C-alpha cells in the first residue's frame, strides 16, 4: 500500500471489468485504493461494481460500489450525490466507460452512432456537469478521462463512431483543462494503445479469424512487440490523478509502447 492518494476521494465511472480479469477501470480503482484513496466504484452492472469492491476490500482498501448508466444524467447525479453525502468531497473523477461498435457510415445504424457517441463522449460531459460544482466549491480536483490511441490514429477496425467519440473526448479534455485551470482543477486524458483487456475479446475479436490471430497482430502493432495491460493504463492515470502532476493539465498521454510514433 502507498500514499500517493492518501486521504483522497476517487469516483471511478466504469470501475467494473467487462469480463474475467483486469479491465482498465477495475485496475485504476484498485490502484487508487492501494495508494490510499477512498474509492467509489460505479458501473452499469451492479455485480461488476461489487467485484471491484470485493477485490479492493480484500486488499485492505476502502471501496463503495454504486450503479449508474453514464448516458443517464439523473443516474449520474444520484451517484455523485451519494458520494458527497458519504464523503463530503470528490478529489478525483475517473471516466473510464467506453464501448466500440463496428461500422462505417454506410454499415452502422444511426442508433449505433448515437449509442457510441453518448457512451464514450456525452457521458463525460454529464459526469463533469455533476462533479465540477463540488470541485469548484472545494477549490481543487483532478479529472482523468480514458480516451484511446484511436482518437489520433486510424487503424484497421471500421469503428467510425469510436474514432469520432474519442477524438471529441480529447478536445473536451483540453477545453475543460483551460476553463478550470484558474480554479485548481486539472483535466487530463490517457490514450491506451493496443492493450490486452477483457474488452478486446468481446468487442474486437470478431474482426479477426480467431483470438490467437488477434493477439499476434495486436502484439505486432506495437514497436515493443507486445500489448500493454490494464496496469500500464492505471499507473498513467494514477500519476495524472495525483499531486505529482499538480502542474500538468490538458495532456493527452499515449500509453502505447511507441505505436503513435511509429504510425502503425
Active site residues: 162
**Gap between the Cα atoms of 97 and 77, Å rounded:** 16
Among residues 85, 108, 83, the alpha carbon closest in space to that of 94 is found at 83
* Cβ–Cβ under 8 Å, residues 111 and 144: no
**Gap between the Cα atoms of 190 and 196, Å rounded:** 16
For 159, which DSSP code?
B
Instruction: Name the E strands within 69-184.
Output: 92-95, 141-146
What φ, ψ does residue 40 adopt, rounded to 5°? -115, 110
Amino acid at each position: 500500500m502507498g500514499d500517493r492518494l492518501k486521504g483522497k476521494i476517487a469516483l471511478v465511472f466504469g470501475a467494473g471489468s467487462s469480463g474475467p480479469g483486469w479491465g482498465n477501470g477495475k485496475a485504476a480503482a484498485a490502484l487508487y485504493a492501494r495508494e490510499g484513496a477512498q474509492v467509489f466504484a460505479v458501473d452499469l452492472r451492479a455485480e461488476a461494481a461489487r467485484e471491484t469492491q470485493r477485490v479492493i476490500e480484500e486488499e485492505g482498501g476502502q471501496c463503495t460500489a454504486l450503479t449508474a448508466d453514464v448516458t443517464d444524467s439523473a443516474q449520474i447525479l444520484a451517484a455523485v450525490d451519494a458520494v458527497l453525502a458519504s464523503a463530503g468531497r470528490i478529489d478525483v473523477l475517473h471516466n473510464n466507460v467506453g464501448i466500440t461498435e463496428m461500422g462505417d457510415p454506410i454499415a452502422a445504424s444511426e442508433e449505433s452512432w448515437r449509442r457510441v457517441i453518448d457512451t464514450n463522449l456525452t457521458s463525460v460531459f454529464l459526469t463533469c456537469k455533476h462533479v465540477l460544482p463540488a470541485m469548484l466549491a472545494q477549490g481543487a480536483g483532478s479529472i482523468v478521462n480514458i480516451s484511446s490511441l484511436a482518437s489520433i490514429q486510424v487503424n484497421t477496425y471500421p469503428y467510425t463512431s469510436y474514432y469520432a467519440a474519442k477524438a471529441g473526448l480529447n478536445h473536451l479534455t483540453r477545453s475543460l483543462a483551460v476553463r478550470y485551470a484558474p480554479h485548481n482543477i486539472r483535466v487530463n486524458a490517457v490514450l491506451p494503445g493496443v492493450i490486452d483487456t477483457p474488452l478486446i475479446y468481446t468487442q474486437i475479436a470478431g474482426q479477426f479469424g480467431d483470438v490467437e490471430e488477434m493477439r499476434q497482430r495486436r502484439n505486432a502493432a506495437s514497436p515493443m512487440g507486445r500489448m500493454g495491460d490494464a496496469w500500464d493504463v492505471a499507473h498513467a492515470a494514477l500519476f495524472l490523478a495525483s499531486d505529482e502532476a499538480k502542474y500538468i493539465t490538458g495532456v493527452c498521454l499515449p500509453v502505447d509502447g511507441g505505436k503513435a510514433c511509429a504510425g502503425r
